[in-house]
Amino acid sequence: MTKRTIALIGSTIVSIIYGLTFTLAKDVMPIYVQAYGFVIMRVGGATILFWLFWLHNRRLKEIREEKIDPKDYLRIVIAAFFGVALNMLSFFKGLSLTSPISTSVLMVSTPMIVLVLSAIIIKERMQKRMVFGIVLGFIGTAFLILYGKSVENAPNASLGNFLVFVNASSYGLYLVLVKKLMDKYNPYNFAKWIYLIGFIMVLPFGWSEFVAVNWGVMPLDIYLKIGFVVVFSTFLTYLLNLLSMKELKPTTIAVFIYLQPVFATIFAISLGKDELALVKIISAVLIFTGVYLVTQKR
């Protein structure tokens, strides 16, 4: 199995985890935890895990100490802002206001954003096949947006959808900015710093909501869902994405976001919150075809 194949499998696993996350996180917010308070839990918990993971591997001498080039300091801070702070704050606030499936399908604007930013910033050449694949994925997702049922009622869908678009734009810029850093530094070393800086950035926004959480009335399943978001949706997915960036282009990684609405719909149906329709099957075919066209080599 080649490194590229492993990277593609990792990106698929990330899409599955995110597809489940939309529904699980929605169960937590806003009844038990407000959006920004949840961000504190997610980023803070992931920061601890990244540092423990790094210390463990350092002790085993599997990670060498790296000296960060001073000219990369600003790029790392900017990456932390777009990849952690703005990304997480806008995502959770948007998700709390709109539905999980709407959130997942709106994330498909990321590949288009990455496509443009990659061409501008890192001068990446776009092939017609890749553009066609992104268009197919967009059409499939548009069907889900227009005809797919929402999993939950949305209290303020317009604002929520706008914040999700901000999240998608922020993540798209992060993917492009972080590519050059991944070519220079070990992903484990990078993750611990970008999350620590991101945690400092989100702390002023979510601290009041975090301390207001009533832990005593929180059911066990909510604790488990919070743990899933911290460990799997944040720690594991970011590690897999960072590793994938070593082998794949930003546009290739971003297009896997097209899979998230499919998985989000599957999980919603399995939980009895949605129903399967012909339009969703057609959407899935178009999305998977788009992913195939983008990820195949010339």
Report mean pLDDT in 10-residue bins for the chain, 298 residues.
80 85 83 91 93 81 71 87 91 80 69 68 70 77 60 62 81 78 76 91 93 90 93 87 73 71 75 64 74 66
Residues 275 and 149 sit within 8 Å (Cβ to Cβ): yes
**Please, what sign has the CA dihedral across residues 76, 40, 103, 160?**
negative
**Please, what sign has the CA dihedral across residues 133, 22, 86, 244?**
negative
Tell me how far apart the alpha carbons of residues 201 and 203 are, in angstroms, rounded to a whole number: 6
pLDDT of 116 reads 66
Rounded to the nearest 5 degrees, what angle is found at the Cα of 62, between the Cα atoms of 61 and 67?
80
pLDDT of 126 reads 66
Q: CA torsion angle for 1, 240, 290, 121 (degrees, to 10)?
A: -110
How many residues would you count in the chain? 298
pLDDT of 151 reads 47
Tell me how far apart the alpha carbons of residues 155 and 287 are, in angstroms, rounded to a whole number: 28
Scanning the structure block, which residue is given the tokens 């990321």?
Answer: 110
Strand positions, DSSP E, 143-200? none
Contacts of 179 (CB under 8 A, 6+ apart): 122, 245, 249, 250
pLDDT of 298 reads 56
In this prediction the pTM is: 0.76
pLDDT of 177 reads 78
